[in-house]
Structure 1
């Protein structure tokens, strides 16, 4: 059995993702949301197991988020920005729970 170590990356606007660099995650600041899909694909090929992405970016690339939800690795985790949550991440969790158990128990 192969013992694979996955990396953790964070995608978003520079000011939002800077704290993640302090705790040791690889950060990838982007200024244009349309840069995110290619960056996500690139990180997936570079052994990233978890990719945090800010909700403001995720909101603009729903097709990429939906495609990644079907994959086991990398796991895309949506995080709010300093402007607050857009509830996209909560909706995503609710949908995944509903798929898993047949109803929304949250």
Structure 2
């Protein structure tokens, strides 16, 4: 069974401890990169990263984008959603299906 990790601002990720996930509270981009790369080396299957942190380490997020493991999923941070995670999901669905089926279209 794969482990699940969460990387982000301490205030945003601390609650995930109660779900049995490994939590890495980080304060800057360097700490976040080290936490994600460390979890990947340790065989984590899923790593949640707050959008606030992810926008600072785009190259690290992109590095794992096409790899099977770990799956890196963006979640809202302390400031709420920045829309980055939803946009990445839309982009992936459009790539797989060939059309954007998630946008609300007025008709």
Does the TM-score normalized on the shorter chain lie above 0.5? yes
Q: Which runs of 5+ in 1 are unaligned?
A: none
Q: Which residue is 1:56 aligned to?
A: 52
Query: In 1, distance between residues paired with 2:38 and 2:22?
Result: 13
Matches of residues 18-37 of structure 1 in structure 2 within 5 Å?
Answer: 18-37=14-33
Question: Would you say the 8 A contact 2:7–2:49 is kept in 1?
Answer: yes
Cα RMSD after superposing both structures: 1.0
Partners of 2:9 and 2:78 within 8 A in 1: no
Q: Which secondary structure state, in structure 2, belongs to the residue aligned with residue 69 of structure 1? A: coil
Q: Does 1:66 align with 2:53?
A: no
2:96 aligned residue (88, 94, 100): 100
Query: 2:73 corresponds to which residue?
Result: 77
- Between the aligned partners of 1:63 and 1:33, the Cα distance in structure 2 is 11
Residue 63 (structure 1) shift: 1.3
Distance in 1 separating the partners of 2:13 and 2:39: 16
Q: Give the secondary-structure state (helix, strand or coil) at the position aligned to 2:7.
A: strand
TM-score scaled by length of structure 1: 0.91
Equivalent in the alignment of 1:16 = 12
Structure 1 runs of 4+ with >2 Å offset: none
The size of the alignment, in residue pairs, is: 102
- In structure 2, what is the Cα distance between the partners aligned to 1:16 and 1:33? 16
